[in-house]
Amino acid sequence: MCMLTDSISLLENEHIEDLGEGVGVVVSKQHTFGTDAMLLADFANPKFSDNACDFGTGCGIIPFLWLRDGKCKSISAVEIQENACNQVERSIIINKTEKIKIYNRDLKDIGDFAAGSFDVVTMNPPYKIENGGIKNEDESSTIARHETFCNMEDIAKSASRLLRFGGKFCICHRPERVFDAMTAMRNNGIEPKRLRFVSKKGDTQPWLVLIEGKRGAKNGLKVEAPLVAYNNDGSLSEEMLSITEKYRKEN
């Protein structure tokens, strides 16, 4: 690790995950990250001058990946769970950054953010509808994976309010929820403009879909070539290697 940890306290189940380039994030069993968040951060690809907002930020992985890559002028991270916000606050301290701000908010009630103040809004949303499937034993996991406190309509409505005209809203979701996601976007003035499926291998069904919508845009959807994560021999594909390279070098 290239970061000092003596400026913060880590709980028993926490550690600092090194993202590369001297940037790290506090993760725990309850609030960690997976490949889907890394893919979404790359897919959204904000400009260096953008003001960005990440809904449901969890441990803050998307903002800190952008910090590592020098993206964005400012990043607002919104999270309803207080323990996750505490993790992000400590990650901000160890990275000595003022670029990222954490807000303990319900994304349905963020009236203190000025309308039209963001160029990019992202969210790795709960994948399962409320009462859909078996609930996780852990409350934090339930909130993260089930539409307990918000659904796609709530998310799209809040994103539409915060985005400037022409600003983009990027999410990842399960392929079976693609119609729900795109309908919610269009219902709230965000036109789906770019879609990409992610498959583990070239001959397997996609397990993830990445969607970009733009506020106030005309219709017309670009479906990009699928992203294939693994080669037939089980090794990471060239594109997946390029997305995860900085992280892999440090771990």
HEC-encoded secondary structure of 35-86: HHHHHHHHHHCCCCCCEEEEECCCCCHHHHHHHHCCCCCEEEEEECCHHHHH
CATH, domain 14-250, list 3.30.565.10, 2.60.40.10, 3.30.1330.50, 3.40.50.150: 3.40.50.150
Q: What residue spans define the domains of the chain?
A: 14-250
SS3 of residue 92 by DSSP: helix
The pLDDT profile of the chain, 251 residues, written as one tens digit per residue, is 344 455 688 988 999 999 999 999 999 999 999 999 999 999 999 999 999 999 999 999 999 999 999 999 999 999 999 999 999 999 999 999 999 999 999 999 988 899 999 999 999 998 766 544 444 455 544 444 434 568 999 999 999 999 999 999 999 999 999 999 999 999 999 999 999 999 999 999 999 999 999 999 999 999 999 999 999 999 999 999 999 887 766 66
